[in-house]
Structure 1
Amino acid sequence: MSYVLRKLGFYAVALWAAVTLNFLIPRLLPGNPVDIMLAKLQQRGGTVTPETREAYAALLGGDSTDSLLTQYGTYLNNLLHGDLGVSVTYFPTPVTEVIGTSMPWTVVLVGIATVLAATIGVLLGAFVGWRPGTWLDSLVPMTTLLAAVPYFWLALVLVYLLSRVLGWFPSQGGYDVVLDPGWSPEFIASAIEYGFVPALTIVIASIGGWLLGMRNMMVSTLSEDYVLTARAKGLPQGQILRNYAARNAVLPSIAGFAISLGFVVSGSVVTEQVFSYPGIGSRLLAAVTNNDYALMQGVFLFITLAVLGANLVVDLLYGLIDPRTRAKA
């Protein structure tokens, strides 16, 4: 119990620090969200008065000309009440609504792609590491080379081959715009069709890292005493692979997988831009471009919660799997 309480206390402090940085970093950027909104109003022929400025400042949660301490207090108070403010970019839509409509697209796309890449990479890495020096080892440089290829270039190549040349999949968008979003079979089939190429891009680009990491851990694990003892006892090779070598070699990959799942929330900005995918990555890029403090803070907050939550789960699982971890903590 003390181990769990120490971990919870540590992550509570980490959350407070992350929330504070989340508040400060956007305000270090040049510009003022109220001025941006007033400039947009003027471009549309509107009249800007002092009363208009006060109204926009109140709507956006306070003018950035206030002291940082006052803004920080307002930010924490609104955060505790679940109010993330109004998005400048998608005015007058609240930030929670912008994130709520974009998050499912990113979680499904990047989440499924991450799970597939990790599963395939770890399984292949286990088999390659089990037989080091064979022809299977020649696959490792090929997969790591794909990981080194620029992300946007790989995405453009897949779009050209699968969409332009072969015409198998759409090149842009998240679904057929003639359909109404929902849980109908037609819409789900359309979303899968539009999301296949972006997901394939993520899998191809990230599978090499999982394969290489698992392969190297397998090679190191095979020299451990407990594996040598299992072989000396004459245990079946499949049992040694599953219960002794792979089971221990996969532990670092589990930690990396949890962190990757935490970053699923942030999406893949480059992939979503190339495919015009309606995920959270494109919303984050639009928020940075327009100095949208509220939307940036909302997206960063969700990313922070996801990453901290994933790490907390891994720490607690390690405490259950390996009692030595609890003793060292």
Structure 2
Amino acid sequence: MRFYLQKIVFYVVALWAAVTLNFLIPRLMPGNPVDIMIAKMGAAGQPITAGTRHALEVELGGSGGSLIQQYGAYIVNLLHGNLGISLTNFPEKVTTVIGQALPWTIALVGMATIISFILGIGLGMLAGWKRGSWLDNLIPVTTMFQAVPYFWLALILVLVLTRVLSLFPYAGGYNVATTVPGLSFQFIGSALYYGFLPAVTIVISSVGGWMLGMRNMMVATLSEDYIVTAEAKGLKPSRVRMTYAARNAVLPSLSGFAISLGFVVAGSIVTEQVFSYPGIGQLLFTAVSNDDYALMQGVFLVISLSVLAANLVVDVLYGLIDPRTRARS
């Protein structure tokens, strides 16, 4: 129980630190969202009065009072689920804008992460079991793809599969001309069709890391005494491979996978930008380009919460799987 209490206290403090930094960093940056909005309204020829500025300060959470007072108001609004108004999508709330983009990123990056993990772990297990085989020799190729920049690989796939072969669309999340968003087979099919190419980019870029890590752990695990004992007992090779070797070799990869899931909500900024995919990565790029501090704050907060939650889950699971972890605390 002491182990879990320590972890909870640690992550509560980490959450407070993340929220505080999320509050401070945009306010230490040059510029003011109210001034930016007034400049845009002035450029459009709209009249600007003192009342207009005050109304925008209220809507956008302008700098009213001392920094401590702003921090207190920020915490109160945060507890009420109010992350402010998006400057880019004015007058939409930040929570609404993030809520519209988040499902796209979770579907694309989440599924791509799961597929690359399962594929990499399976291939890495076989490569470690059959060292020197063609699959083992394939690892340098997959590692090379991991070293290739996302945008370069994405552009190559766009050129070959959308321009030369015309197999897939090159931009968007679904066919906006013929499809209405909703829980229909037509929309789901269109979303899968448009998301296939970005997902392939992520899988190709990330599968090499899982494969290499699992292969190395399999090689190390196969030299353990309990593996030699299992083979000496005459157990079937498939049972030795799955029950004894792979089961223990996969543990380090599981912790990395849980953390990777925490970063799923961050999206893949470069991939989403290349394919104009309507996810969190594209949203964050738009917020930075337009100095939308409230939206940046909201996106960073969602990413911080997901990463902290994933790390907490990993720590708790390790405490359950390995009692020695609890004994050291």
Same fold (TM over 0.5): yes
* Structure 1 equivalent of residue 192 of structure 2: 192
Deviation at 1:239, TM superposition (A): 1.1
**Seq. identity, %:** 65
CA–CA distance in structure 2, aligned partners of residues 293 and 90 of structure 1? 12
Deviation at 1:50, TM superposition (A): 2.3
Q: Which range is displaced more, 65-74 or 291-300?
A: 65-74
Letter in 2 for 1:142: V
Secondary structure of the corresponding residue to residue 13 of structure 1: helix
CA–CA distance in structure 2, aligned partners of residues 225 and 25 of structure 1? 53
Q: Which range is displaced more, 214-223 or 101-110?
A: 214-223
CA contact (8 A) 1:259 1:307 kept: yes
C-alpha offsets along residues 113-137 of structure 1, whole Å, 9 cap, x if unaligned?
0000000001100110112233322
Letter in 2 for 1:240: V
* Structure 2 equivalent of residue 72 of structure 1: 71
Deviation at 1:254, TM superposition (A): 0.4
Letter in 1 for 2:271: T
CA–CA distance in structure 1, aligned partners of residues 159 and 252 of structure 2? 36
* Structure 2 equivalent of residue 32 of structure 1: 32
CA–CA distance in structure 1, aligned partners of residues 257 and 176 of structure 2? 34
Deviation at 1:157, TM superposition (A): 0.9
* Structure 1 equivalent of residue 175 of structure 2: 176
CA contact (8 A) 2:123 2:135 kept: no
CA–CA distance in structure 2, aligned partners of residues 286 and 26 of structure 1? 16
Letter in 2 for 1:7: K
CA–CA distance in structure 2, aligned partners of residues 224 and 57 of structure 1? 65
Letter in 2 for 1:119: I
Deviation at 1:221, TM superposition (A): 1.2
Letter in 1 for 2:221: T
Alignment of 1:75-90 (within 5 A): 75-90=74-89
CA contact (8 A) 2:125 2:246 kept: yes
Deviation at 1:48, TM superposition (A): 2.0
* Structure 2 equivalent of residue 253 of structure 1: 253
* Structure 2 equivalent of residue 48 of structure 1: 48
* Structure 2 equivalent of residue 222 of structure 1: 222
Give TM-score, length-normalised by structure 2: 0.97
Deviation at 1:234, TM superposition (A): 2.3
Deviation at 1:321, TM superposition (A): 1.1
Deviation at 1:286, TM superposition (A): 1.2
CA–CA distance in structure 2, aligned partners of residues 66 and 110 of structure 1? 41
CA–CA distance in structure 2, aligned partners of residues 225 and 82 of structure 1? 54
* Structure 2 equivalent of residue 103 of structure 1: 102
Deviation at 1:66, TM superposition (A): 4.3
Q: Which range is displaced more, 43-52 or 280-289?
A: 43-52
* Structure 1 equivalent of residue 231 of structure 2: 231
RMSD over equivalenced CA pairs, Å: 1.2
Q: Which range is displaced more, 282-291 or 192-201?
A: 282-291
CA contact (8 A) 2:33 2:62 kept: no
* Structure 2 equivalent of residue 272 of structure 1: 272
Deviation at 1:146, TM superposition (A): 0.5
* Structure 1 equivalent of residue 126 of structure 2: 127
Q: Which range is displaced more, 237-246 or 117-126?
A: 237-246
Secondary structure of the corresponding residue to residue 157 of structure 2: helix
Q: Which range is displaced more, 132-141 or 122-131?
A: 132-141
CA contact (8 A) 1:144 1:208 kept: yes
CA–CA distance in structure 2, aligned partners of residues 26 and 144 of structure 1? 37
Give TM-score, length-normalised by structure 1: 0.97
CA–CA distance in structure 2, aligned partners of residues 190 and 35 of structure 1? 41
Equivalences, count: 328
C-alpha offsets along residues 212-247 of structure 1, whole Å, 9 cap, x if unaligned?
111111111112222222222222211111111111
* Structure 2 equivalent of residue 154 of structure 1: 153
Secondary structure of the corresponding residue to residue 56 of structure 1: helix
CA contact (8 A) 1:61 1:74 kept: no
CA–CA distance in structure 1, aligned partners of residues 225 and 302 of structure 2? 44
Letter in 1 for 2:144: L
CA contact (8 A) 2:105 2:267 kept: yes
CA contact (8 A) 2:217 2:249 kept: yes
CA contact (8 A) 1:217 1:250 kept: yes
Letter in 1 for 2:104: W
Secondary structure of the corresponding residue to residue 234 of structure 2: coil
C-alpha offsets along residues 236-289 of structure 1, whole Å, 9 cap, x if unaligned?
211111111111111111011011101000101101110111111111111112
CA–CA distance in structure 2, aligned partners of residues 146 and 60 of structure 1? 43
CA contact (8 A) 2:174 2:194 kept: yes
C-alpha offsets along residues 183-216 of structure 1, whole Å, 9 cap, x if unaligned?
1111111111100000000000100111011111
1:290 and 2:310 matched: no
* Structure 1 equivalent of residue 208 of structure 2: 208
Write out the 4+ residue segments of structure 1 that deviate beyond 3 Å after TM superposition.
none
Letter in 2 for 1:168: L
Letter in 2 for 1:74: A
